[in-house]
Structure 1
Amino acid sequence: MDYPYLAGYPAQLVDQVGALLDSGELGLKLERKYPQRNPVQTDRALYDYVSERKQRYLKNAPPLAKIQYDNALGLLAGTLGTNTFASRVQGGRLKRKNEIRIATLFRDAPGEFLSMIVAHELAHLKEKDHNKAFYQLCCHMEPDYHQLEFDLRVWLTWREAC
């Protein structure tokens, strides 16, 4: 079977996920590993959460104009979060506006997954490309970044199959 969220991972790992999914055990394993639901449920709480993380790890990064959950992002679009940079001329100055939007499905996800996606989007304030420096910054903000990214992909695979 094809699992689009697991593309690029070793076949043996994908087969293990597929076997757990087929046996009905994948959801239980994920619930045992991540029992806590995300406590950040409102746009205001998300703004405070992201702002606190930005202040802790990226004090000199450009300010964020907007941080919110977005219903338009999700599985169908293939985008779980976006980081928008818009520049416009205002008077004689060039103004830059940064926004972070997180897919609303993260309200139902474990809090660890929100932490991972926030680290990812904040890293884009410093590094635009997914390069070595970008992933180093992600791991600085979220030490288990790579494991959480994989587990998020497994969770999305399970969620889509249900």
Structure 2
Amino acid sequence: MDLPYLRQYPETIQQQVRALVQAGTLGNTLKKRYPDAVHDIQSDARLYEFTMALKQQFMRSSAPISKICFDPKIHIVNNALGLHSQVSRVQGKALKSKNEIRVASLLKTLPMPLLRMIVVHELAHLREKDHNKAFYQLCQHMEPQYHQLELDLRLYLTWQDLAGGAPDATN
């Protein structure tokens, strides 16, 4: 069984996930961990408010963000879970740049801790462009459970794929 969201994880973890899938317990495991999957961040405006509150709390001095939105064009496996881009334009003699954060629209249904992890990840890119040690330290500063949440997100997406869509209470 191919596990596209878990390819970078050790084979031992992939084997554990395969065992959960074969036993039919991956969904129940995630439901126990995240019983409240519903949240109110369903619009670009709410995502903007949520992201800016985190930015204000942890990254006040970082570059401003000009756009934060859910993007229906992001394909989760090919283009990651969200995108941070710096758009540069020439205006007269000056080079102007704008930071944008886009989160895949399919992720609106995630439990709140997993959506927060994605926003934290994209905010960290304001300071650290690469996925290096400093980047992950910043992620953990903003979200101490960052690494566990990232794994859980990948498990959740695996579960969604196997269930054929958004998980519900019957899976």
Q: TM-score range by the shorter chain?
A: over 0.9
Query: Structure 2: how far apart are the matches of 1:82 and 1:75?
Result: 10
Matched, 1:142 2:140: no
Structure 1 gaps of 5+ residues are none
Structure 2 gaps of 5+ residues are 164-171
Q: Does the Cα contact within 8 Å between 2:4 and 2:77 map onto a contact in 1?
A: no
| Corresponding residue of 2:19 | 19
The structure 1 segments of at least 4 consecutive aligned residues displaced by more than 6 Å after TM superposition are none
Q: Which amino acid aligns with 1:150?
A: L
- Counting only pairs closer than 5 Å after superposition, residues 101-140 of structure 1 correspond to structure 2 as 101-140=102-141
| Corresponding residue of 1:2 | 2
What's the offset of the Cα at 1:76?
4.8
Deviation per CA, 1:22-79: give whole Å up to 9, x if none: 1211111101101122331111000000011111111111111100001111335342
| Corresponding residue of 2:167 | none
Query: Structure 2: how far apart are the matches of 1:131 and 1:75?
Result: 21
Aligned length: 162
Query: Identity across aligned pairs (percent)?
Result: 50
Deviates more, 1:74-83 or 1:104-113: 74-83
Query: Structure 1: how far apart are the matches of 2:77 and 2:122?
Result: 19
What's the offset of the Cα at 1:88?
1.2
Q: Does the Cα contact within 8 Å between 1:74 and 1:104 map onto a contact in 2?
A: no
